[in-house]
Amino acid sequence: MNKKVYLQDLGLKDYKDTWDYQEVLFKNTVDLKIKNRRGQANEPTPNHFLFVEHPHVYTLGKSGDFANLLISDEELAAKNAKFYKINRGGDITYHGPGQIVGYPILDLDNFFTDIHKYLRFLEEMVILTLAEYGLKAERSEGETGVWLDVGTPFARKICAMGVRASRWVTMHGFALNVNADLGYFDLMIPCGIKDKAVTSLNVELGKQEVDLEEVKQKLQKHFENLFEAELIKQKTEV
């Protein structure tokens, strides 16, 4: 089992361009798995982890309801935002500057073949990271992602998640609000869940801005520990 994971930080990058890049990495891994199983190759399948920030964009998962986007095409353009219907699970979500988006493209045959455990590990990675900032983050039963003050009238989501997996190869991932402009969340029903607030790390800490690189380092550390993986920084190619 190959526990090495190639890490790339793509910086600020268009959502569609990043999605296309994910698809290339995803397809290469799936194709290699098929060749290995057919005896046409005998190579370890690669694993990747992409960090990225996106310009303002709304994405709708396969099971999502378009009605959860509350603005028109004209209003989207006025907000300098884009919209895409995509092939991950989940409903609608927002990505934008000040948010750390992570896309692990892992062959789970290298780790464990359990998609629920995979999601719980991604959540735990974020929960442990937020704990280092003194925040008690939690899961909310029946709702993927990471929340604060679960079970109270003040419950608020700080990290959204939505993944796709085929032949145990994953793509898409998580979006952690660090210095996010929360006004953009008012233009949708986040994840299709009404009456639940959204928050950002800088708001919770009462700071104007939190160091994004510091948060990424903490996420990497907990990812490596949970998945018993070795992250290898790779030069960005896109």
Helices (H), the chain: 15-37, 73-78, 115-131, 201-205, 212-227
Q: Are 174 and 160 in contact (CB under 8 A)?
A: yes
Q: Which residues, at least 6 apart from 206, have a Cβ–Cβ distance to it below 8 Å?
A: none
Is 84 one of the annotated binding-site residues?
Answer: no
Is 92 one of the annotated binding-site residues?
Answer: yes
Is 38 one of the annotated binding-site residues?
Answer: no
Long-range CB pairs of 232-238, under 8 A, 24+ apart, other chains included: 232/4, 232/5, 232/6, 232/7, 233/7, 233/8, 234/6, 234/7, 234/8, 235/8, 236/8, 236/9, 236/10, 236/11, 237/8, 238/10, 238/13, 238/17, 238/18, 238/21
Is 78 one of the annotated binding-site residues?
Answer: no
Q: Which residue has the tokens 């960090």?
A: 51
Is 112 one of the annotated binding-site residues?
Answer: no
Is 90 one of the annotated binding-site residues?
Answer: yes
Residue 159 annotated to the active site: no
Is 45 one of the annotated binding-site residues?
Answer: no
Is 56 one of the annotated binding-site residues?
Answer: no
Catalytic residue, chosen from 191, 212, 215, 229, is 191
Is 95 one of the annotated binding-site residues?
Answer: yes
Would you name the residues annotated as active-site residues? 191
Which residues contribute to the annotated binding site?
88-95, 160-162, 173-175
Which residues contribute to the annotated binding site for substrate?
88-95, 160-162, 173-175
